[in-house]
Amino acid sequence: MKISISARNKIGMSLVGFGTYQLSVDQAESCVREALNAGFRHVDSAEGYNNEEGTGKGIKAAGISRDDISVTTKLFPGYKQWEIPEKDYKQTIETLKNQLKKLQLDYVDLYLIHSSAISAKARTVESLNRAKKNRANQTHWGFKLQ
């Protein structure tokens, strides 16, 4: 698939990616493997999809070099209105580490904040900025509006 490179930040990512929303762990494994073998080079997952383990197994099973694919995953930062505490710096880093373990990866190419809650985003951005300075295992991060 064609690669698009942004002139501003030089990130190379496929124009089309394979998303894992609403896939079970087993479905994620087989679908990600098949998607990569069919030519996809960008895989998208999220903490809230509860299938990162299968996504990681699918990436590994495809046998494609890690250098040849982009992986995006998302952090759910918490949401007070749902009575889910917002994550602080330590919890954000722990979540990323757990996600990497499930994905069987050393890093993700893009780490998104999977929420539209502005207050949670502000705290999470602060955490991610601190993590970036401490060389956490993500290359870029951004927001995902629901």
The residues annotated with a catalytic role in the active site are 49
Burial state string for 64-94 with b = 16 or more CB within 10 A and e = fewer than 16 = beeeebbbbbbbbbbeeeeeeebbebebbbe
**Separation CA 107–CA 142 (nearest Å):** 15
Q: Which of 70, 141, 135, 78 is nearest to 112 (CA)?
A: 141
Residue 75 contacts residue 111 (beta carbons within 8 Å): yes
